[in-house]
Amino acid sequence: MIRHGFIRLSGAQRLGLVVLLALMLFATLESLFGEHDGVRQTLQNRFALPGGEHLLGTDQFGRSMVARMAAAVRLSFILSLSCVLTSAVIGTGFGVWAAWRGGWVDHGLNFLVNTILALPGLVLVLLCAALVPGSFFMLYFAIAMTLWVEYFRIVRATVLSIINGPQIQSSTMLGFGRWYLFRRHIWPSIRHDVFTLAAFGAATSVLTMASVGFVYVGLKPPASELGLMIVELFPYYADAPWALAQPLVALFMMVLGFNLLAGKSS
């Protein structure tokens, strides 16, 4: 099944998947490099060059860049996958419910979505993050709450166009339940859009967490987070440009991988 799914991907999607898998391998197999502690400071080894004892060098406090980069990539994957799963379930469920039920349910959910859209997503995340500084859960909650509205709008529009179609009407007259109708007629119609939104949503989650880290509202030191690492290393860009380049490249590769994966299948 996995091989069949890989074959159906376009060339760009395969490239995106390979990039993401490479980052996942790096993040999970970091222990093989023998550098486990990304918090322990060794000031006499500050800005050690890559190679030898430290494969990717050390930062301004002599901390292992391999351990910190692996922890930061893991954190980004955990946050993006958690946000995507939560927002996809909520947005898809509410979208189907609103289109299927109509009436006050549809009006109420549309009002809620329009209210959330009235405030820019990044501003909403900044406000939530400022309420509980340094909280990973608050970042996850805020990002997921800004992502689900896109699923709702796309899914609701698609389901509205097929809900009164002859196929669903026929299945309803034959006595099939709503779960069967969803699995047989609705999910195949919205599946591609949901997967595309999920890939874009993952890239948005990674960028949003990094953006919040840029302004010191997100996670706090000594946490390993890509945006926070970029801010901490930026004053030393002339002394150790290779150290600053590492979180920048990882952020670029993650967003690129998710965006490529969101492309159209062949």
pLDDT band at 149 (very low <50, low <70, confident <90, very high): very high
| C-alpha to C-alpha distance for 208 and 261, rounded to whole angstroms | 19
Evaluate if residue 229 carries a pLDDT over 90.
yes
For residue 54, the cross-strand partners are 51
More confident residue, 183 or 33: 183
Reported pTM:
0.88
DSSP for residue 25? H
pLDDT band at 6 (very low <50, low <70, confident <90, very high): low
Q: Mean pLDDT in the chain?
A: 88
For residue 51, the cross-strand partners are 54
| C-alpha to C-alpha distance for 113 and 124, rounded to whole angstroms | 14
Evaluate if residue 157 carries a pLDDT over 90.
yes
Evaluate if residue 162 carries a pLDDT over 60.
yes
Domain 63-262 fold is MetI-like fold (1.10.3720)
pLDDT at 178: 85
What is the distance in angstroms between the CA of the first residue and the CA of the last residue of the chain? 17
Look at 19-28, 37-46, 59-68, 96-105 and tell me which has the smallest mean pLDDT: 37-46
| C-alpha to C-alpha distance for 88 and 152, rounded to whole angstroms | 9
Q: 140 vs 1, 51, 89, 191, 210, CA distance in Å?
A: 31, 35, 15, 24, 13
pLDDT band at 1 (very low <50, low <70, confident <90, very high): low
Q: Do 201 and 87 meet the contact criterion of CB atoms below 8 Å apart?
A: yes
Single out the residue of 172, 196, 192, 209 nearest to residue 258, CA to CA: 196
Look at 12-26, 30-44, 224-238 and tell me which has the smallest mean pLDDT: 30-44
**Residue 62 has which token pair?**
């002599």
Q: 24 vs 28, 56, 103, 112, 206, CA distance in Å?
A: 6, 17, 45, 36, 14
Evaluate if residue 4 carries a pLDDT over 70.
no
Other C-beta atoms closer than 10 Å to the C-beta of 86 total 17
